[in-house]
Structure 1
Amino acid sequence: MRFKYIGIIYAVVIVGIVAASSQAQSVEQKPDFGAYYYHKKSLFEALPNTSNEIILLGDSITDGNEWSELFGSSRLKNRGISGDVTEGILYRLSEVTESNPAQVFIMIGVNDLARGIPVDTVLSNYGKIIDQIREESPDTEIYIQSILPVNDEFPQFSSHTDKTSQIKQANVGLTELAKKTGATFINLFDDFSTAEAKLNPNYTEDGLHLNGQGYVVWKSVIGSYMDL
């Protein structure tokens, strides 16, 4: 009997260890996109879906605008998260597609480049984003917005603002990807650039993000593509 009880205790301990290990592995498998990312992701998941949504999807440059107020339409939904990358978009994309939005305007990639992620990887992830939207919400119109220029004359975001050549390369690839997939490419780069291909200082305070006037310019370009 003594050995039987020891065996039972041993089995319980093993089950407990396995369960704890499985739980630890589950926690470890959650991508480390940062607390702000998960706060915003959980908020987006809690917000109600509405019909005919127009979604602006991206990182801090999208996150920083009051889109519905700027356009005067509650159909516009801001799905930007500061610091986000293409992998982060993929991880949260089902929340975007579950409302079967009328249109999705995507801008993502500058944070990838700042972290040393190759242009080819950015383009590959973009392809996955488009494929997933097509699969989960086939009637959604997809708009790929070019990555904006940056300006290295500002010191705040030096890991981002020295990526002009990679940004140009990525935008060429995004143009081709749009043609290949039937998405619409919107060239914002030229509208925001100086003659030296730098982000116009009239539209930024830090060489990366946009000020109010910058968002007004953005509106003037993409407004004609929006089904408002």
Structure 2
Amino acid sequence: MRQMDRRSKIFISLIISLCCNLILICIISFQNLRIRREEQEPFAQSELSIIIPAIIKEAQKYDYYTNSQYNAYVSMFSLYQGKSDVIFAGDSLTARGNFGEFFEDISLLNRGIGSDISAGLLARIDEIIVHQPSKVFIMIGINDIARGIDKKVTRNNISEIIKKIHFSLPDCQVYIESVLPTQTEYEWEILQLNKELQDVALKSECIYIDIYAHFLDENGEIISNKISIDGTHLNGEGYKTWVETIKEYVNSN
């Protein structure tokens, strides 16, 4: 009986030893395989670190109504439905402009919303139409560029904005203002979008105002250090340049 117990213990010990050896062999084999794969694909991990954020970014599409300023301002705008001769519509560049102080003798409304995009302006265009303006000045598109929205989409949105205004207000003159220059990586895209805007204005019987050119020096360089607070948004001198460029259109009969 004792002989059998001893044999059982030896057998169990052998089984445990064999299992441990097998586990050790598997671990070593896995490590060797991993090392070989890393040697063959040295950039695999870095490529994934680029691809994954890109996929996430693509999935997180920007919608104008996720802009916290959008709903707040739209609800505030809806409180007043009186008539206004002139309306300025756009994003933060328009929103920050105290145009009423430059044109005191004109009934004027500012309908700019920070971070707004062309789709957002299209969605709220009825609130602008309700005031029955005789002139609407539109500057929109820089946030479309920053959000990676295709220029064709921006162009179509602006075309639809113009159509809606002209359908409800046939005598309203629409002015399409160029997107302003910035000290960002978007300059080439801004120039391309401005070409699209100019074409839209021509085909829609609107007036295109090239404000962009007035923000360049004699060498064609952007003078944003004198007219901008951050390379995009304007200071007083910047708004003075803007107003000087458009005042003949605002004051014309």
- Fold shared by both chains (TM-score > 0.5): yes
Cα distance per residue 1:129-149 (max 9 Å; x no partner): 111111122111100000000
Who is 1:224 aligned against?
248
Q: Which amino acid aligns with 1:227?
A: N
Which residue among 156, 165, 172 is the counterpart of 1:124?
156
SS at the partner of 1:185? strand
Q: Which amino acid aligns with 2:99?
A: W
> RMSD between aligned alpha carbons?
1.6
Aligned mates of 1:196, 1:113 — CA distance in 2:
22
CA contact (8 A) 1:33 1:88 kept: no
Who is 1:200 aligned against?
224
Aligned mates of 1:116, 1:108 — CA distance in 2:
14
Cα distance per residue 1:6-32 (max 9 Å; x no partner): xxxxxxxxxxxxxxxxxxxxxxxx963
**Structure 1 alignment gaps of length 5 or more:** 1-29, 152-160
**Structure 2 alignment gaps of length 5 or more:** 1-62
Q: Is the counterpart of residue 173 in structure 1 residue 201 in structure 2? A: no
Q: Is the counterpart of residue 83 in structure 1 residue 115 in structure 2? A: yes
4+ residue stretches of structure 1 with deviation over 4 A? none
TM-score, scaled to structure 1: 0.79
* Aligned residues with identical type, % of pairs: 34
Cα pair distance change 1:70/1:31, threshold 3 Å? closer
Who is 2:82 aligned against?
49
Aligned mates of 2:159, 2:131 — CA distance in 1:
21
Q: Is the counterpart of residue 148 in structure 1 residue 180 in structure 2? A: yes
Aligned mates of 1:131, 1:38 — CA distance in 2:
24
CA contact (8 A) 2:178 2:210 kept: yes
Who is 2:234 aligned against?
210
SS at the partner of 1:177? helix
More helix, by proportion: 2
SS at the partner of 1:82? coil
Aligned mates of 1:111, 1:33 — CA distance in 2:
14
TM-score, scaled to structure 2: 0.71
Who is 2:37 aligned against?
none
Number of paired residues? 189
Which residue among 134, 143, 164 is the counterpart of 1:102?
134
Aligned mates of 1:143, 1:31 — CA distance in 2:
23
Relative contact order (C-alpha < 8 Å, sep 6+): which is higher? 1
CA contact (8 A) 1:149 1:199 kept: no
Aligned mates of 2:221, 2:174 — CA distance in 1:
26
Who is 1:184 aligned against?
207
Who is 1:71 aligned against?
103
Aligned mates of 1:93, 1:106 — CA distance in 2:
11
TM-superposed deviation, 1:64: 0.4
